[in-house]
Amino acid sequence: MAVTVRQMALIVGVFGVLSFVFGIIAENKKPASGTPLPGKDVVVCKYPSDPSVALGYLSFAFLLVSTVVGFLSLFYPYQGKSLPQAALFRSKSFVVFFNISLLTAGLAAALLLWTTITEQLHLSRNVHHNIETTCPTAKTGLLGGGAFVSLDSSLFWLVALMLADNAREDYFEDLDKDVKGGGFAEVHGADYGNVIKGSA
């Protein structure tokens, strides 16, 4: 079964939305801080149940899938027709949205991954020698921000895919016109016979 532009767009959109949803849930589930339990020269931080680390990694994973599929969808040979990259990058609009898609995907990945890893480190390294510690968690708002940028990234990939599809149609239409109007005259069998007789 051949892959279509619509199917690629659906995959990019669905995984982008999933990344957004998991990122928002991770932000809402993240505790503001832990509870400090003083000990002998140390403070042990007790944190409530925190699924934000797992949700953050899931959000990042879905962003990664959306980005990879979005990138590949631009250059995929639909209907077995491969489009030269030069034909795509001839369009200024495509170049702009392609670069914005890459930048937003990178920013979203950095926000999601950095915040999730930071939260994981806070949870695992919960023994502090600083008795003044307030048992912090990862900075509030970064997971949610990463989720929104992730959604934006998938939308930009969809716009880039739409522009690539337009460029693809224009390219193959021009190619068909060149082939049909390229001065190749139709030669009939009778004409060919006359040529042979004339040369004999």
User: What is residue 198's predicted lDDT score, i.e. its pLDDT?
Assistant: 47
- Of 21-30, 74-83, 97-106, give the lowest mean pLDDT range: 74-83
Q: What is the pTM of this model?
A: 0.81
- pLDDT computed for residue 98 by the predictor: 95
- Does the pLDDT of residue 21 top 50, yes or no? yes
Q: What percent of the chain has pLDDT over 70?
A: 88
Query: pLDDT at residue 183 above 60?
Result: no
Residues 6+ apart with CB under 8 A from 135: 33, 34, 35, 36, 43, 45, 46, 47, 126, 128
Give the whole-number percent of the chain exceeding pLDDT 90. Answer: 50
- The DSSP call for residue 137 is -
pLDDT above 60 for 33:
yes
Instruction: Report the candidate in 37, 49, 25 with the shortest Cα–Cα distance to residue 150.
Output: 25
Two structure tokens written together for 180: 């049909």
Residue 90: predicted pLDDT: 86
- Asked if pLDDT for residue 176 goes beyond 80, the answer is no
Integer Cα distance of 152 and 18 in angstroms: 12
Please name the amino acid found at residue 59: S
Q: What is the mean pLDDT of residues 41-49?
A: 86
- Higher local confidence (pLDDT), 26 or 42: 26
